[in-house]
């Protein structure tokens, strides 16, 4: 292993994660202590290092998804599971008594929200599946008595409940929920449900339904409901008149929003903050927009360098400022964006010890004339090799992998291959029905581009990714030499597949998100041959590059069974490979000890199979 890389230096520099901003000016977050993750708290004037531990519960052993915080009673609500198995339920943690209670007993809680007074909660349980998709029930819970009743069951509907916020009307008599036609993630709509009569209706006409349709955060509604849609190509904010179903676009974005959130009611009208990203100029534009009904009253704008992700509290707007070569810092602004009120470093240690690269944004030509947007991380010194992120690339975000690889003299290419979100709806939809197809050719053409640009041998270019990126890595390494008439052979030096899947049929039957695969490749029953043809396990003989496979035994998003046949073939072959099966871990590793073990395995594999290739 490369002895000069100090993994603990990086992990120790970023002990904080999953910040939640409370309405009364506090920050709740997880902090790594030893091998565990523990809940801490600070007020907005304190630094993270001053945080006080408020719970002994170790969240390295279970999921942690913050929901809401009752400032008056000091009760924190989260979604969590047991042993990373994603049997998600709602829990409460009382900061006064230290009691941690499980409030629901669902198979899989994928949406939940509380009324502003915390007296009632609506939650949705995904309890089964039939030929038309998932089956879910909507419950309303009296938080004082614990009594629950079923408000709605979607078993008799073609529109099935799906991910998204639960939104209450201001009088708390109605809720709006997000629904998905046949659980295919192609046509989503909003369901208006009367809490008292249990009557329901759909708010949008069929012709304006779409996959990228989301309600805004903390959106209480009266006559108008505000949501975002990519109906115009880019994500925009719309006003929906409840009584008539009339939609009015309120923004006309030419850039891609990084985030859109609602702001607390200050008596000025409905206010939203949107952050628009211009990667070519390396700038973020953040705008506060004020609406009344379906009219725009005011827009205030500020320009800032870097990558911004917004949050809001009653005391201002927090943005997360980071870039590929800039560790994250939190900045707080006044609501008019005129004054920077506070900043908090999200890391410990010296900047020069954590940044070993510079980066550039570019486009490279793919096989069919499309020019793919990408970020390129370059080490300060000699370029000894290159690695490609196989999916979930195209983000200008600080990444430990890029810095560690830069220390090793490895350039990292982060392409936004077709299907990547954040570059417009048209680009996103190019992957629909074609998973494992042209987006993999984009990865291969990225490898060709790097090899030519830096005069590298093909064996000096590796590929890596996790989850969908793990699948894309396997697919790139087992791609037919000719695909759809395109010669696409490339002799990669190595690959790393983390939490990936090699058998799409098994993934469909065992994953807790098979609707994602249906969105990417079409309904299983109608596309069985394509599912097989796009599965790396059935092209195993084409694997010639050394491969490292990492997977958690408790992964329910990508079941280990979807890799079993591929791993069995590795064990029975003379292929060059290594395995790291993480006992008790889910869709990734949270404990520090496991993360160190994973990195040690990765670095040893890269050192052996990529950096020893002679120019």
Greatest mean pLDDT among 206-220, 253-267, 336-350, 556-570 lies in: 556-570
Q: Which tens digit of pLDDT belongs to each residue from 503-537?
A: 999 999 999 999 999 999 999 999 999 999 999 99
Q: Over 554-590, what HEC string results? A: CCCCCCCHHHHHHHHHHHCCCCCEEEEEECCCECECC
* Among 189-203, 266-280, 409-423, 482-496, the least confident range: 266-280
| 283 pLDDT tier (thresholds 50, 70, 90) | confident
pLDDT at 386: 98
Helix (H) or strand (E) holding 112: strand 109-114
- DSSP assignment, residue 288? E
Is residue 463 within 8 Å of 447, Cβ to Cβ?
yes
Query: How many of the other CB atoms lie within 10 Å of CB of 299?
Result: 11
Asked whether the predicted pLDDT for residue 1 surpasses 50, the reply is no
The length of the chain in residues reads 615
Asked whether the predicted pLDDT for residue 52 surpasses 50, the reply is yes
Is residue 192 within 8 Å of 201, Cβ to Cβ?
yes
Mean pLDDT confidence for 439-453: 98
Q: Which tens digit of pLDDT belongs to each residue from 480-491?
A: 999 999 999 999
Asked whether the predicted pLDDT for residue 307 surpasses 80, the reply is no
Residues sharing a CB contact under 8 Å with residue 16, sequence separation 6 or more, in sequence order: 29, 30, 31, 32, 40, 48, 51, 346
* Among 319-323, 401-405, 493-497, 576-580, the least confident range: 319-323
Give Rg (Cα) of the chain.
Answer: 24
**CA distance linking residue 216 with residue 239, whole number of Å:** 11
DSSP string, 224-274: EEEEEE-TTSS-EEEEEETTT--EEE----SSEEEEEEE----SSSEEEEE
| 613 pLDDT tier (thresholds 50, 70, 90) | confident
Phi (first) and psi of residue 274, to 5 degrees: -125, 140
What is the pTM for the complete model shown? Answer: 0.95
Mean pLDDT confidence for 324-345: 87
Asked whether the predicted pLDDT for residue 2 surpasses 50, the reply is no
Mean pLDDT confidence for 38-53: 95
**CA distance linking residue 30 with residue 537, whole number of Å:** 38
pLDDT at 615: 62
Mean pLDDT confidence for 15-27: 93
3-class SS of residue 607: helix
**CA distance linking residue 522 with residue 23, whole number of Å:** 42
Q: Match 């829990």 to its residue by tokens.
A: 91
3-class SS of residue 400: helix
Helix (H) or strand (E) holding 475: helix 468-477
| 614 pLDDT tier (thresholds 50, 70, 90) | low
Mean pLDDT confidence for 379-395: 96
**CA distance linking residue 257 with residue 279, whole number of Å:** 11
Mean pLDDT confidence for 324-353: 88
Query: How many of the other CB atoms lie within 10 Å of CB of 82?
Result: 14
Residue 378 token pair: 């370059």
Work out whether strand 494-498 and strand 486-487 pair parallel, antiparallel, or are unpaired.
unpaired
**CA distance linking residue 161 with residue 182, whole number of Å:** 10
Q: Over 80-99, what HEC string results? A: ECCCCCCCCEEEEEECCCCC
Strand partners, 311: 318
Query: How many of the other CB atoms lie within 10 Å of CB of 69?
Result: 22
3-class SS of residue 599: helix
| 356 pLDDT tier (thresholds 50, 70, 90) | very high
Per-residue burial over 491-512, b = 16 or more CB atoms within 10 Å of its CB, e = otherwise: ebbbbbbbbbbbbbbbbbebbb
Asked whether the predicted pLDDT for residue 249 surpasses 80, the reply is yes
Work out whether strand 224-229 and strand 213-215 pair parallel, antiparallel, or are unpaired.
antiparallel
Q: Which tens digit of pLDDT belongs to each residue from 561-574?
A: 999 999 999 999 99
Q: Which tens digit of pLDDT belongs to each residue from 99-114?
A: 999 999 999 999 999 9
């Amino acid at each position: 292993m490369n002895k000069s890389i100090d993994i603990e230096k990086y992990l120790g520099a970023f002990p904080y994660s999953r910040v939640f901003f409370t309405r009364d000016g506090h920050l709740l977050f997880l902090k790594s202590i030893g091998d565990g993750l523990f809940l801490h708290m600070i007020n907005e004037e304190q630094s993270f290092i001053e945080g006080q531990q408020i719970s002994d519960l170790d969240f390295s052993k279970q999921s942690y998804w913050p929901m809401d915080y009752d400032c008056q009673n000091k009760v924190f609500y989260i979604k969590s599971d047991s042993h990373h198995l994603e049997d998600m339920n709602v829990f409460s943690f009382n900061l006064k008594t230290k009691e941690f209670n499980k409030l629901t007993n669902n198979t899989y809680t994928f949406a939940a929200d509380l009324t502003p007074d915390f007296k009632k909660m609506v939650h949705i349980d995904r309890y089964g599946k039939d030929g038309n998709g998932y089956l879910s029930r909507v419950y309303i819970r009296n938080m004082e008595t614990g009594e629950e009743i079923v408000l709605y069951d979607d078993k008799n509907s073609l529109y099935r409940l799906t991910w998204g916020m639960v939104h209450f009307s201001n009088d708390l008599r109605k809720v709006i929920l997000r629904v998905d036609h046949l659980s295919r993630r192609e046509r989503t709509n909003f369901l208006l449900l009367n809490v008292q009569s249990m009557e329901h209706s759909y708010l949008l006409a069929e012709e304006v339904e779409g996959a990228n349709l989301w309600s805004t955060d903390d959106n209480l509604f009266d006559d108008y409901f505000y949501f975002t849609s990519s109906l115009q190509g880019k994500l925009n904010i719309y006003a929906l008149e409840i009584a008539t179903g009339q939609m009015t676009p309120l923004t006309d974005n030419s850039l891609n929003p990084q985030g859109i959130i609602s702001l607390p009611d200050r008596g000025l009208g409905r206010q939203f903050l949107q952050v628009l990203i211009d990667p070519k100029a390396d700038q973020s534009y953040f705008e506060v927009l004020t609406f009344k009904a379906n009219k725009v009253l005011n827009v205030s704008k500020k320009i800032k360098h870097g990558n911004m992700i917004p949050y809001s509290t009653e005391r201002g707007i927090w943005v997360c400022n980071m870039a590929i070569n800039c560790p994250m810092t939190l900045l707080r602004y006044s609501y008019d964006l005129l004054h920077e009120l506070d900043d908090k470093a999200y890391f410990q240690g010296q900047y020069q010890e954590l940044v070993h690269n510079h980066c550039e944004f570019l486009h490279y030509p793919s096989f069919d004339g499309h020019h793919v947007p990408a970020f390129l991380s370059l080490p300060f010194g000699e370029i000894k090799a290159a690695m490609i992120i196989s999916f979930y690339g195209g983000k200008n975000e600080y990444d430990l992998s890029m810095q560690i690889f830069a220390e090793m003299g490895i350039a990292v290419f982060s392409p936004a291959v077709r299907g990547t979100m954040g570059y417009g709806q048209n680009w996103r939809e190019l992957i629909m029905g074609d998973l494992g197809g042209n987006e993999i050719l984009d990865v291969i053409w990225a490898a060709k581009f790097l090899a030519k640009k830096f005069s590298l041998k093909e064996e000096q270019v590796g590929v890596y990714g996790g989850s969908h990126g793990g699948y894309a890595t396997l697919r790139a390494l087992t791609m037919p030499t000719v695909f759809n008439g395109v010669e696409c052979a490339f002799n990669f030096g190595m690959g790393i597949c983390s939490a990936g899947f090699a058998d799409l049929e098994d993934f469909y039957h065992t994953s807790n998100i098979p609707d994602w695969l249906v969105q990417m490749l079409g309904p299983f029953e109608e596309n069985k041959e394509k599912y097989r043809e796009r599965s790396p396990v059935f092209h195993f003989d084409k694997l010639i590059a050394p491969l490292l496979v990492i997977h958690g035994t408790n992964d329910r998003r990508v079941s280990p069974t979807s890799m079993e046949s591929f791993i069995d073939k590795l064990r029975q072959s003379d292929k060059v490979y290594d395995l790291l099966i993480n006992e008790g871990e889910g869709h990734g590793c949270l404990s520090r000890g496991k993360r160190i073990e994973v990195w040690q395995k990765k670095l040893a594999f890269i050192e052996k199979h990529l950096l020893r290739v002679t120019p």
